[in-house]
Chains A and B, each alone.
Chain A
Amino acid sequence: GQQVMQIPQYQHVQEGEDFTTYCNSSTTLSNIQWYKQRPGGHPVFLIQLVKSGEVKKQKRLTFQFGEAKKNSSLHITATQTTDVGTYFCAPRGSGYSTLTFGKGTMLLVSP
């Protein structure tokens, strides 16, 4: 089956610092989605990447899909306390019908 590794598992930053989480797959992907889960909440969809090398931005968030479509990253510029939560990547492999979720990166932001 598809193996997904997400790193780091946890990161604690000061407000204003940047943050990056990485997602690596053992197989070539058809697409990848990213979700955010606030403490005590449920996952909320952020974005989907489909094309090789694709880069998408949402305000301070930048999402990248690797050229080989095996990895992806989420970068947050100048973190804010509202960014606190766990960020999950959810790749979809070629030929697979369901998403596989990474274990997530928990982000803590201190004011």
Chain B
Amino acid sequence: DGGITQSPKYLFRKEGQNVTLSCEQNLNHDAMYWYRQDPGQGLRLIYYSQIVNDFQKGDIAEGYSVSREKKESFPLTVTSAQKNPTAFYLCASSPQRNTGELFFGEGSRLTVL
């Protein structure tokens, strides 16, 4: 089935550790996005990529890093510099740049102990 796969679904990490969240899509979409969701805050854009080997910062990029080496993959690294990393992270893709609906993965819930 076509779709977006995020892993892991749940992740626990100690303070000071980096962690990488995986996002893979087989929809042949050009654009991919990472959002962070906190209770009552809606979705906030971390990073996005509209083409392979290119990505842009979103509204809350500090403490995060991404790469886009393949069209299908857009991993997100939550670094130790991120002060409040505990959140629900959502990856999404869209078929076209700047337009079109977003297709979301099931999300990764990160808890920092």
Complex: how many Å from CA A48 to CA B101? 8
CB of B61 within 8 Å of the partner chain = no
Q: Which bracket fits the contact residues of A? A: 20 to 34
Q: How many Cβ-Cβ contacts under 8 Å join chain A to chain B?
A: 44
Q: Are A42 and B107 in contact (CB under 8 A)?
A: yes
A97-B50, A98-B33 are contacts. A43–B90 as well, Cβ < 8 Å? Answer: yes
Q: Are B43 and A43 in contact (CB under 8 A)?
A: yes
Q: Are A98 and B48 in contact (CB under 8 A)?
A: yes
A97-B50, A97-B97, A98-B33 are contacts. A45–B42 as well, Cβ < 8 Å? Answer: no
Stretch at the interface among A59-67, A70-78, A99-107: A99-107
Q: Are A97 and B98 in contact (CB under 8 A)?
A: yes
A97-B97, A101-B42 are contacts. A45–B102 as well, Cβ < 8 Å? Answer: yes
Q: Are A42 and B41 in contact (CB under 8 A)?
A: no
Q: Are A88 and B102 in contact (CB under 8 A)?
A: no
> Chain A residue with minimal CB distance to B58?
A98
CB of B74 within 8 Å of the partner chain = no
Query: Which residues on B are within 8 Å of A, measured CB to CB?
Result: 33, 35, 40-45, 48, 50, 58-59, 90, 97-98, 101-107
Query: Which residues on A are within 8 Å of B, measured CB to CB?
Result: 1, 6, 9, 33, 35, 41-45, 48, 88, 90, 97-104
